[in-house]
Each structure stands twice: as C-alpha cells, then as structure tokens.
Structure 1
Amino acid sequence: MHADRIASAWLIRRFIDKQASFKFVDSKGYEPQPGELRFDMAEAEFTHEDDRCTFETLLLRAGLTSDPALTAIAAMVHELDIADGKFQRPEIMGFSALMSGICATTSDDEARIARGSDALDQFYGYFSKCGV
C-alpha cells in the first residue's frame, strides 16, 4: 500500500464516507461482495482514469474538485503515483519522504492508513490556511 491508496483511503473516510471500512484483498480477480466498492486496483469502480491517479478520480467523481487544499494534495499524490512531471509543487519531495517513511516503518495496511491520514490532515490544514 503506497501513496495513492493511503491518500484515497484518507479522502474516502474524511470527505466521502466517514463510516467506510476497508478490506485488504489480492487485487487480481477479486470479486466484490454486494455493497463493496473497490478502489486503486484492477477493474475497480474507482481507479486510474485517463491521466488521473485514483485520488484524482475520487476527487472528481465525488464533486470535491472545488476545494483548493484537496487539489493541492491531489497534485502531490499524482506525482508520487504517476511521476509524469505534470505538477511541480514544492512540497512533493517532503511528501514523498514522509510517505516512503510510513511504508518503510510498517507493513500493516491499517497502520499505514492511520499514519498517512494524520499526515494528510496536516497538509490539508496547511493548504486550507495558506490558501494554496
């Protein structure tokens, strides 16, 4: 689990469905149970579309693109996940180190989401206050 999936889980729980729960499964050939929605995996309902990473797809489809703080975070997630040079935000290198550190210090998916969520809350607070 890396930046796009961690950030997408944060976005879902913080802005889309506060009661969301996650099941960690093998991404190949998983058949969802009734009521389950998949994200950031093959054949998922929410995943990469066109040149967008999963976080950007969720942001767009949930109608959250008018929030400048979320779009700033989306740019950072995009660069870590797709690395196409589309966005040149100065925070990307620090964000990359932070997310890599989270992934290096635990292999537990829930712990990664929790630690990443704490960090993303701070980025969101900063971008909200500074007006991006």
Structure 2
Amino acid sequence: MKWITRERVKVDRVACPWLIRKFLDKDAEFYFVPADKVLEEASRLDAIPFDAPGVELGHHGKECSFESMIRKYKLDGDPALGLLARIVNGADTDNTLYNQPEGPGLKAIAEGFRHLEFKDDHEINAAEWIVYDALYAYCREKVKQGKPDGDAK
C-alpha cells in the first residue's frame, strides 16, 4: 500500500510510518510532500493520506494521527500501543489531554533528529524508528509492571 503525508517529519509523521510498517504493512511505501499537495498527490498516487488537515487519519480534537490510526485499524487491544499513543500525543500536541511525562522527551528527540542533516524524510524515519522500537519496549515493560499509563500520575 502507499501512504502519503506532509514533508518535514517530526513526531506523528515518524510514529505513524513506524506503526504502519510494524503492525499493518511491512512493505508500505511512503511519500512526503508539501502540505498543500497531500490530497492531490494522494489521489494521483492512490495513496492513503495521514497527518494532514481534513483527513480521516489525522488530528481530531486533542487526539493525534497516531491515535486515529490505532483506532481505525483496531490496534487498541494492545495496552503497550495505547501507552505509546499517549506518549506520541504528549510530544505532538500541547500535552494537555494526558499530561504524559514522557511526551516532552520524545518531542526533544524528534526535534534533534531534524537537525542531524539527513537528506530527506525517508532517512529521518529510517534513523528514528529505533527510538519507537525502544519506546514500545518501554511501554510493554510498563504494562507488565501494572502501569498502563506509564509514569503519568
């Protein structure tokens, strides 16, 4: 399947491709285009748009695109993914929905990746997915410890 979103990835536009490759489509193709071209290019390429204004797999209320994707593809039975979604939300939004303490750390890491001089969004995603692998392992451990909300109070 083909997926498309806005260029200049940061949090949601790295987390969503990670989720897609890990849980939905190991052979997914990703396209990163200017924000005003997402819908046009999605139509032309027959690609599923995400994390762009007005799309199903986008922000809705205080929820981020990662959460929309988990809900649509019925991945919400995995409590570790649920915790990861809270962390992604905390990094990608104003963090007032869950006040997730891990969120600001992920936001800082994502911003740092943007300054490592990768040549494009594909390279940033490839490099940063190890962070999401590690966060998912952290989330599985927190769930195992009986802390499905992580370190949120």
**Shorter-chain TM-score tier:** 0.7 to 0.9
Alpha-carbon distance between aligned partners in 1 of 2:95 and 2:136, rounded to the nearest angstrom: 23
Alpha-carbon distance between aligned partners in 1 of 2:62 and 2:100, rounded to the nearest angstrom: 18
Alpha-carbon distance between aligned partners in 2 of 1:9 and 1:58, rounded to the nearest angstrom: 10
Alpha-carbon distance between aligned partners in 1 of 2:53 and 2:36, rounded to the nearest angstrom: 7
Identity of aligned residues (%): 31
> What is the match of residue 4 of structure 2?
none
1:9, CA displacement in angstroms?
Answer: 1.0
Alpha-carbon distance between aligned partners in 2 of 1:82 and 1:96, rounded to the nearest angstrom: 9
Give me the CA root mean square deviation. Answer: 1.8
Q: Are the structure 2 counterparts of residues 93 and 48 from structure 1 closer, same or farther at C-alpha, using a change threshold of 3 Å?
A: closer
Alpha-carbon distance between aligned partners in 2 of 1:123 and 1:84, rounded to the nearest angstrom: 17
Matches within 5 A, 1:67-86: 67-86=78-97
Write out per-residue CA displacement over residues 15-73 of structure 1, whole angstroms, 9 at most, x where no aligned residue: 11111111111221441225311111134342112321101100111101121111111
Aligned pair count reads 132
* Counterpart amino acid of residue 140 in structure 2: S
Q: Does 1:94 align with 2:105?
A: yes
Q: Which has the larger radius of gyration?
A: 2
Contact 1:46 1:58 in 2 (8 A): yes
Contact 1:37 1:44 in 2 (8 A): no
Poorly superposed stretches of 4+, deviation over 4 Å: none
Structure 2's unaligned 5+ residue stretches are: 1-8, 149-153
The alignment partner of 2:36 has SS state of coil
Structure 1's unaligned 5+ residue stretches are: none
> What is the match of residue 7 of structure 1?
15
Work out which structure has the larger RCO, using CA pairs closer than 8 Å and 6 or more positions apart in sequence.
1
